[in-house]
Amino acid sequence: MTEGLIAPKPALRRFQQARWDEPAIFDLHTPGSRGVLVPLPDPEMSVGDPLAALPAALRRAEPPGLPELSQLHVLRHYLRLSQENLGVDLNIDVGQGTCTMKYSPKVNDTFVRDPAVAALHPLQDESTVQGVLELIHRLQRMIAEISGMDQVSLQPGAGSAAIWTNVAMIRAYFAARGEAAQRDEIITTVFSHPSNAACAATAGFRVITLHPDADGYPSLAALRAAVGPRTAALLITNPEDTGIYNPRIAEFVALVHEAGGLAAYDQANANGILGITRAREAGFDLCHFNLHKTFSTPHACGGPAAGACAVTEALAPYLPRPVVGFDGERYFLDDDRPESIGKIRPFYGVVPNLVRAYAWIMSLGAEGLRTAAETAVLNNNYLMHQVSRIRGVSVPYAAGRPRLEQVRYSWEQLAADTGVHSEEIGYRAADFGTHYWTSHHPYVVPEPMTLEPTESYSRADLDEYAAVLAEISREAYEEPETVRTAPHRAAVHRVRHETLDDPDRWAVTWRAYRRKILGEQV
Amino acid sequence: MTALVGLVVNPVAGVGGAVGLKGSDGETTQRRAHRLGAVPRAGERAALALAELAARHPEELRLLTADGPMGAEAALVAGFRPQLVHRPGRRTSAWDTTATVRALRRAGVRLLLFAGGDGTARDVLAAEPGCPVIGVPTGVKMHSAVFAVHPRAAGETAAAHLSSGLPVHPREVVDLDEEALRRGRLGARLHGHLPVPELPLRIQQRKTGATTPDPAALGGIAAELRTFLPPGELLVLGPGSTTHQVAAALGAETTLLGVDLLRREGAGLQPLATDLGERELLDRLAGRSAWLALSPTGGQGFLLGRGNQQLSPAVLRSAGRSRLLVLATEAKLAALRGRPLHLDTGDPALDAELSGHHQVITGFRRRALYPAY
């Protein structure tokens, strides 16, 4: 056998992304084109102009300015756009640390597409939706068991919507006790998800942020300096974005309780602790999960991701309504909750994702959940071992200690040696067909990179991802211009962040694009 | 084996700090500082470093230095019997520094301690010391990365290096154009690198320029600062671009690098006196209470002891810890890379009193808990 035929490490892909120069769909407008020609009704069957029944104030003066296209053009347009993406089913997607999408088993989508779910309307009488209510009720009990909490609402959205729910319940709890004016401070940490600070501020709380010490998490002394009679709550993630578990978390919670505050556990991502430790055992009063991060449902890009908020009995009256109840014979929407913070989303949650999460949990069982977490931790530490050997990368904080589900790495040394920055490594990673993310802002870890493999990816996948990073490191040291001018083989060269950060220039609708970018009077 | 350690002190380093001259370069500045009542502190701080070295390194040391205020006086205070390698004239100059460093190199010292500021570091660099170097911070700003965070840390680093050989890395010697600085313009230049032993958290970082301006964050800090100041309250505002822009957001024109006194009037701040020295501050604050707002130096994290020596221990004690407000954007704290805020007031007891976790105002109704020591 010729030695050269044996690949000592994963071969790098010769990836080339499609580039279609596809216009916006509004620019494809061709007057007279249409997808479906709806036949005129039989005059004998006609009921007249259906719009005439609407009050005049609800009727548009002119039809909406939608583009006219044939079905084929629409299909081709969106297929082309999909080829210019690095979607979760296309790449080794471990580069979206803190929020890596786990594999969503396709079989679970068949349940969602089943008319028993897909054909339901949220305004149906509850007697006609007993099946889906039973599923939601069962999922509520599963989340209660997984978290150790007493009651659960699946009504909120995920992420900031769920954190907002937590903050709103905390505010309602102290308002009911007559302490709302006194307790106006919320404590969080710089490596907890920034939505914790943002939601607390939005709700009118003062926000105190703790910074980590050399172990990677804040000291008890720091918390002691922050906590006091004004403390409403501690909002904390554990492990934080560094993947480091704070082993003194129960002492943190106890300290806040001693001051009369509440403790909320941001378990949006529970990939490293599922089935191993529970919020209740650490003394928390409330927590939430993102079903897309931990329970394998689609993220949906800021769209219909589902959250799960779990609380102790003391906070149960404030849960969003409705909660799905069971009276021993029938399931019902419990909307009569006078102390509830109200609705976070319309109706009773993102039902398709609740179905997927329920199916995922049922398919794994209690032991399977724990195995998923253990595999995620094993994968992460394997990847850390591989990535740590790459020139220019380091693992800040708690040197030599293993991590749980993710790691926030630093390319500080590489940047100092070569002038190549982490964002540029991300652009270059796209040339190999892989996604990459740095960190939330501001960068507390210099030149950050956050990787989270979850349990979904194989050893070969992780080796391939590490090989891509090793190759980019080599390029940074030997031919830095290749990295600095990347991407070369991806559809989009660089996203101009300055327009995304500027309210005067961002355009998220076609009309805003015409007004702000094209300068038209619309 | 007896270790040979070199010492050179720039006796006029830092003399302009407490009197608000933002530096001590040039004979004119030094004369002006003396006229304003400045007291040289370089020798005193060098002695602190030597005392720490002696306490932590009991094995035999031989200290080589220049005569008088350029080293011998500090050595005697710290209990050393120094061997002299250079005798300066009555008025010392940069030439004396370079001559001493060259003599120390010829004598084969294993480690050089120099007490001074960025200008002294440049003189040491020019003399090519040929051994690891530790700067004892006695200047005004000290933007270079060759200094210990305070004199005792210099002694501690020296002792650790002599005992067990710390890793030595080249670190930047940076200096500002002080003439331009006194006119309110900032301009730094990299002059080269000196080999410095690395003891974590004991050697300071290079000063970085202002972080990307974030008007929203600075406006938020200004709004939060206002909540501390009922109408009529006095505020002593430290130097730097953060405090300058926060004051501007409250309608006050302040000096970029001086210490200013302001009063809350209406919705904003009204400057009462700008660019004050230690004596003027003490006179104006006598018997009155005032808040003190400071921002740490970018990338270094110095809260006190770099560029704001006008805020002397006496001034700081008159304000008290509970009236000390620390201002920094989240981005500025993040740029410290997890390192603490540093205190180097020149009074170890006061440093200890001010150490611990400080609530840093990072925006409107936003604070960060950040350690300082």
Q: HEC string of B18-30? A: CCCCCCCCCHHHH
The helix-helix angle for B241-249 and B215-228 (nearest 10°) equals 70
pLDDT digits (tens, 9 = 90+) for B47-58: 999 999 999 887
Q: Which of A125-129, A503-507, B154-158 shows the lowest per-residue confidence on average (mean pLDDT)? A: A503-507
User: pLDDT grade, residue B211 (50/70/90)?
Assistant: low
Say which residues have a Cβ less than 8 Å from residue A46's Cβ, sequence separation at least 6.
none
**So what's the pLDDT on residue B131?**
96
CA B80, B86, B91: angle at the middle one, nearest 5? 105
Distance CA(A423)–CA(A428), nearest Å, equals 9
DSSP A309-369: EEE-GGGGGGS-SPEEEE-SS-EEEE---TT----SSSTT--HHHHHHHHHHHHHHHHHHH
What's B68's DSSP letter? G
Task: Give B-chain residues touching A255 at CB under 8 angstroms.
Answer: none
Over 70: is that where the pLDDT of A287 sits?
yes
Say which residues have a Cβ less than 8 Å from residue A195's Cβ, sequence separation at least 6.
A159, A160, A163
What's B3-197's CATH class? Answer: alpha beta
* Contact between chains at B369 and A226 (C-beta distance less than 8 A): yes
* Contact between chains at B366 and A207 (C-beta distance less than 8 A): yes
**So what's the pLDDT on residue B164?**
85
Chain B touched by A211 (CB under 8 Å): yes
Distance CA(A451)–CA(A453), nearest Å, equals 7
Which comes out higher in pLDDT, residue B209 or A79? A79
**So what's the pLDDT on residue A2?**
41
Q: Which of A319-328, A418-427, B252-261, B318-327 shows the lowest per-residue confidence on average (mean pLDDT)? A: B318-327
Nearest chain B residue to A210, by CA: B369
Over 50: is that where the pLDDT of A300 sits?
yes
Say which residues have a Cβ less than 8 Å from residue A289's Cβ, sequence separation at least 6.
A143, A146, A147, A162, A267, A268, A270, A295, A307, A308, A310
Averaged pLDDT, B290-297 = 94
Task: Give A-chain residues touching B335 at CB under 8 angstroms.
Answer: 442
User: pLDDT grade, residue B212 (50/70/90)?
Assistant: low
CATH number of B215-372: 3.40.50
Over 60: is that where the pLDDT of A3 sits?
no
DSSP B140-185: SS--STTBBSSHHHHHHHHHHHHHH---EEEEEEEEE-HHHHHTT-
**What percentage of chain A carries pLDDT values higher than 90?**
76
**So what's the pLDDT on residue A94?**
94
What values do phi and psi take at A17, rounded to 5?
A: -80, 150
Average pLDDT of chain B is 88
Residue pair B246/B211 in contact (Cβ under 8 Å)? The answer is no
Averaged pLDDT, A369-387 = 97
Task: Give B-chain residues touching A197 at CB under 8 angstroms.
Answer: 366
Over 60: is that where the pLDDT of B210 sits?
no
* Residue among B362, B366, B369 minimizing CB distance to A222: B369
Distance CA(A202)–CA(A198), nearest Å, equals 6
User: pLDDT grade, residue B140 (50/70/90)?
Assistant: confident
Over 90: is that where the pLDDT of A96 sits?
no
pLDDT digits (tens, 9 = 90+) for A451-499: 999 999 999 999 999 999 999 999 999 999 999 999 999 988 877 776 7
Task: Give B-chain residues touching A231 at CB under 8 angstroms.
Answer: none
CA distance A222 to chain B (A): 6
**So what's the pLDDT on residue B74?**
95
Whether B215-372 and B3-197 are alike in CATH topology: the answer is yes
Cα distances from A389 to residues A113, A382, A393, A409, B86, in angstroms, run 45, 11, 8, 12, 50
* Contact between chains at B365 and A205 (C-beta distance less than 8 A): yes
Nearest chain B residue to A220, by CA: B357
Residue pair B32/B22 in contact (Cβ under 8 Å)? The answer is no
User: pLDDT grade, residue A4 (50/70/90)?
Assistant: very low
**So what's the pLDDT on residue A167?**
98
Residues of B with CB under 8 A from a CB of A: 329-331, 333-335, 337-338, 356-357, 359, 362, 365-371
Over 70: is that where the pLDDT of A6 sits?
no
Chain B touched by A222 (CB under 8 Å): yes
Q: What are the strands, taking DSSP E only, across A28-182?
A: 151-153
**So what's the pLDDT on residue B179?**
66
Over 60: is that where the pLDDT of A331 sits?
yes
Q: Shortest CA distance to B155 belongs to which of B168, B140, B139, B136?
A: B136
Task: Give B-chain residues touching A210 at CB under 8 angstroms.
Answer: 368-369
**So what's the pLDDT on residue B82?**
95
Residue pair A104/A296 in contact (Cβ under 8 Å)? The answer is yes
* Contact between chains at B356 and A225 (C-beta distance less than 8 A): yes
Over 70: is that where the pLDDT of B213 sits?
no
Task: Give B-chain residues touching A205 at CB under 8 angstroms.
Answer: 365
Over 90: is that where the pLDDT of B256 sits?
no
Structure tokens, A98: 């803190």
| Burial (CB count <10 Å: 0-12, 13-18, 19+), residue A394 | middle
**So what's the pLDDT on residue A495?**
76
**What percentage of chain B carries pLDDT values higher than 90?**
60
Choosing among B201, B369, B370, which should be mutated to test the A contact, i.e. which has the most A CBs within 10 A?
Answer: B369
Over 90: is that where the pLDDT of A407 sits?
yes
Which comes out higher in pLDDT, residue B234 or B19? B234
Q: Which of A170-184, A309-323, B83-97 shows the lowest per-residue confidence on average (mean pLDDT)? A: B83-97
Averaged pLDDT, A146-170 = 96
Which comes out higher in pLDDT, residue A389 or A504? A389
Q: Shortest CA distance to B220 belongs to which of B23, B114, B362, B19?
A: B362
Q: Is the interface score ipTM higher than 0.85?
A: no
Task: Give B174's strand partners.
Answer: B190
* Contact between chains at A210 and B368 (C-beta distance less than 8 A): yes
CA distance A191 to chain B (A): 11
* Contact between chains at B368 and A208 (C-beta distance less than 8 A): yes
pLDDT digits (tens, 9 = 90+) for B149-162: 889 999 999 999 99
Averaged pLDDT, B69-73 = 95
Chain B touched by A203 (CB under 8 Å): no
* Residue among B335, B365, B369 minimizing CB distance to A206: B365
Distance CA(B291)–CA(B305), nearest Å, equals 18
Nearest chain B residue to A207, by CA: B366
**What percentage of chain A carries pLDDT values higher than 70?**
97
Task: Give A-chain residues touching B331 at CB under 8 angstroms.
Answer: 441-442
CA distance A233 to chain B (A): 15
Task: Give B-chain residues touching A190 at CB under 8 angstroms.
Answer: 334, 368
CA distance B277 to chain A (A): 33
**So what's the pLDDT on residue B22?**
66
pTM more than 0.90 = no
Averaged pLDDT, A240-265 = 96
* Contact between chains at B366 and A212 (C-beta distance less than 8 A): no
Which comes out higher in pLDDT, residue A114 or B178? A114
**So what's the pLDDT on residue A7?**
47
Give me the residue spans of the domains in chain B.
3-197, 215-372
Over 80: is that where the pLDDT of B28 sits?
no
Q: Which of A22-31, A84-93, B67-76 shows the lowest per-residue confidence on average (mean pLDDT)? A: A84-93
Distance CA(B156)–CA(B149), nearest Å, equals 11
pLDDT digits (tens, 9 = 90+) for B160-190: 999 888 888 888 898 877 666 666 666 678 8
Chain B touched by A244 (CB under 8 Å): no
Over 90: is that where the pLDDT of B252 sits?
yes
